[in-house]
Amino acid sequence: MELGQIGIWHSARRGGVDVVAEVEALGYGAFWLGGSPSVEQARAYVEASSTIPVATGILNVWQHDPADVARAHAALTRDHPDRFLLGIGIGHPEATSDYTRPLATMREFLDGLAGVPREQLAIAALGPKMLDLAGERTRGTHPYFVDVQHTRFARERLGPGPLVAPEVAVVLEADVSTARRIAREYAVTYLRMSNYTRNLERFGYTERDFADGGSDRLIDAVIPHGSPERVADAIRAHLAAGADHVCVQPLGHGDVPLEDFRTLAGVLL
């Protein structure tokens, strides 16, 4: 399954199943379905396209039984070979009442995915131990809400083989104040979640950076903004830092920002 270097990240909560066909036609390498989707939800996107791989970014392991997921994965990949990557993640302590033993829970979930090939699996890993597990048991990692420093760290931790495929949210907006406002409206949710803030602390960010929707330096590093060319340069910085693939999430222009997809295709593909 080839993902190419650039994909699009789109939340299932925003609807628009037909968007995957547009993304495919523009030449993107993969379509990442966010919003904690199930395999069954991902099937609709696979069936709405013809060649582009669809990945879950991510299926939350607390919300699913691994045996059920394995069965759904087998059915989907039987009908559409080499078109589906199962991205899984541990979610957030703030959103899961019984959040305990995250690393052990992930190991147990992987144990329950009988028959799912490792090359069709990825983990949304941030910290070193979860990154190690991603390298040991899956194709690699799909980290979310990270800067280039984390991409470099993930590559160094995993070595040259496993997949490193970060999500990068962007704002195509020339006015800096407007772009940062849009970015902060998005970032404020994630800056309330301890797994993201702990990860950012590894790279020198502090409580001051997490306040009020994020400091300028955090916002500018995690959510690149500006002209299409400036945003493209920021995406290429992740590739230069060791990413194999970057899935881009444009913000601020509606639930299905087709024009942003088209503009980014023009400078990245």
pLDDT in tens, 166-208: 999 999 999 999 999 999 999 999 999 999 999 999 999 999 9
Q: What is the CATH number of the domain that holds 99?
A: 3.20.20.30
Are 57 and 32 spatial neighbours (Cβ–Cβ below 8 Å)? yes
Distance CA 214, CA 117 (A): 39
Position 182 in a domain: yes
What is the biggest distance separating any 2 CA atoms in the chain, rounded to whole angstroms?
A: 50
- Structural domain boundaries enclosing 247: 6-268
How far apart are the C-alpha atoms of 61 and 66, rounded to whole Å? 8
Residue 240 lies in a domain: yes
pLDDT band at 95 (very low <50, low <70, confident <90, very high): confident
> Strand 31-34 to strand 140-141: parallel, antiparallel, or no bridges (unpaired)?
unpaired
- H-only helix segments in the chain: 19-26, 39-47, 66-79, 102-112, 128-137, 148-158, 176-190, 194-201, 207-210, 216-222, 228-240, 258-268
Q: Which residue has the tokens 């036609």?
A: 25
> With 80 as the cut, is the pLDDT of residue 97 above it?
no
Q: What is the pTM of this model?
A: 0.97
Output phi, psi for 20, to 5 deg. Answer: -65, -35
User: How many independent structural domains does the chain possess?
Assistant: 1
| Three-state secondary structure call for residue 218 | helix
pLDDT band at 39 (very low <50, low <70, confident <90, very high): very high
- The confidence score (pLDDT) of residue 189 equals 95
Give how far the C-alpha of residue 105 lies from the chain's centroid of Cα atoms, to the nearest Å: 20
Q: Is 15 helix (H, G, I), strand (E, B) or coil?
A: coil
pLDDT of residue 98: 80
Residue 32 in any domain: the answer is yes
The answer to the question of residue 1 being in a domain is no
pLDDT at residue 30, as a whole number = 98
Please provide the average confidence, as pLDDT, over all residues in the chain.
97
Share of the chain above pLDDT 90, in %: 96
Closest CA to 53 of 26, 32, 36: 32
Q: What is the pLDDT of residue 158?
A: 98
